[in-house]
Amino acid sequence: MNARPLPAEAALDALGHPLRRVLLRLVAAQEQSVGELVHRVQPVRPVSQPAVSQHLGVLREAGLLTVRTEGTRRIHGLDHEGLADVRAWLDELVDPLAPLAQPLDALATEVARGRRARRVSQHGAPGQDAQRLTGSA
């Protein structure tokens, strides 16, 4: 059996490590360099700079982090677009019909427009009767 991987699988795997979840929370609050992240994590959990760099690499590969260069520093931030697959996957768990909601909403809007257009063509625009009765244009 050849199972198709979930689009969010790499991100969910990356979030399986507690330190990666801590790092993701820190960069979600504010973009930071590796050194800043090590400094913030050290008091709670002894960790080396290479270990933090490795974990950040896993998060980046999973599409959860962005990295930009600022001088000689690499600044890590949350990749909001990268979270879309995870959100969609979780939404489907909670509401399996969620992926259909937007197309159905668009269809409902088009149906309502069609009904409104038919009413206007059959009976005139709303307020036209009042204008005819009062003689105002």
pLDDT in tens, 66-118: 999 999 999 999 998 888 888 888 888 887 776 666 676 777 788 888 888 88
Q: With the CA atoms of 95, 100, 103 and 106 taken in that order, what torsion angle do they form, in degrees rounded to the nearest 10? A: -40
Per the structure, the complete domain to which residue 113 belongs is given by: 99-134
Task: Look at residue 92 and tell me if it is in a domain.
Answer: no
88 falls within a domain: no
Residue 2 lies in a domain: no
Q: Write down the pLDDT at residue 99.
A: 67
Which residues have CB under 8 Å from 43's CB, separation 6+? Answer: none
Domain assignment of residue 123, yes or no: yes
| Percent of the residues in the chain that have a pLDDT greater than 90, as a whole number | 49
Q: What is the mean pLDDT of the chain?
A: 84
Whether 62 and 36 map to the same domain: the answer is yes
Q: How far apart are CA 71 and CA 90, in angstroms?
A: 38
Same-domain check for residues 78 and 121: no
Q: Does residue 3 form part of some domain? A: no
* pTM more than 0.75: no
- Nearest of 111, 110, 88, 109 to residue 99 by alpha carbon: 88
**Is 74 in the same domain as 126?**
no
The Cα diameter of the chain in Å comes to 84
Q: Are residues 75 and 112 in the same domain?
A: no
pLDDT (mean) for 1-16: 75
Same domain? 26 vs 65? yes
**Residue 15 forms part of a structural domain:** yes
Based on the fold, state whether residues 72 and 106 are members of the same structural domain: no
Provide the domain count of the chain: 2
Assess whether 78 and 15 both reside in one domain: yes
Does residue 89 lie within any of the structural domains? Answer: no
The more confident residue out of 127 and 124 is: 124
Residue 90 within a domain? no
Please indicate, yes or no, whether residues 22 and 74 belong to a single structural domain of this protein.
Answer: yes
